[in-house]
Amino acid sequence: MSAPLSTDLRSKYNVRSMPVRKDDEVQVVRGTYKGREGKVVQVYRKKWVIHIERITREKVNGSTVNVGINTSKVVITKLRLDKDRKSLLDRKAKGRAAADKDKGTKLTAEDIMQSVD
C-alpha cells in the first residue's frame, strides 16, 4: 500500500512513492479530513486503509475509534528510515537516474533507416 511522497521528499530522494509504514507522518489531501496531518498508527492491510493519529470518530457508546483512510488520499511528509528503507530508496533512485539518462537518447528517422538496410 503505497502513497506518494511530498514535493520536498520527492526532490530530495528522487522517488515518487513509497509503501506506507507505521510511524511515517502523512497529510490527508482528499476527503472529509483534508489538510489533517498525523503519524500513522496502524497499516490495516486487510481493509487496505491506514489509521492516523488524531483522526478518530466517536461511536454511539462513547468510545473513540480510528477512521480508516485510503493510502491514495494521503501524502507522506516524513519517512521513518531504517537500513532496509534506505536501500529501497537508493535502488529506486538509481533506476530512475538510469531511465532519465536513456530518455535523452532518441533515435532519429535516419538512424532507424540505417539499421533497416
Give the model confidence (pLDDT) of 17-45 as tens digits: 999 999 999 999 999 999 999 999 999 99
Show the beta-strand stretches assigned E in 20-110.
Answer: 25-28, 37-44, 49-58, 64-69, 74-78
Residue extents of the structural domains in the chain: 2-102
Contact by Cβ (8 Å): 29, 73: yes
Tell me the pLDDT of the chain averaged across its residues.
Answer: 91
Q: Which residues make Cβ contacts (< 8 Å) with residue 49, sequence separation at least 6?
A: 68, 69, 70, 71
Identify the pLDDT of residue 9: 95
Classify domain 2-102 by CATH architecture: Roll (2.30)
**Statement: residue 114 has pLDDT above 70:** yes
Question: In degrees, to the nearest 5, what angle opens at C-alpha 45 toward C-alphas 87 and 5?
Answer: 45
Give pTM, 2 decimals: 0.81
CA atoms within 13 A on the CB side of 64: 8
Torsion over CA of 9, 103, 91 and 40, rounded to 10 degrees? 30
Min mean pLDDT across 21-25, 49-53, 104-108 is at: 104-108
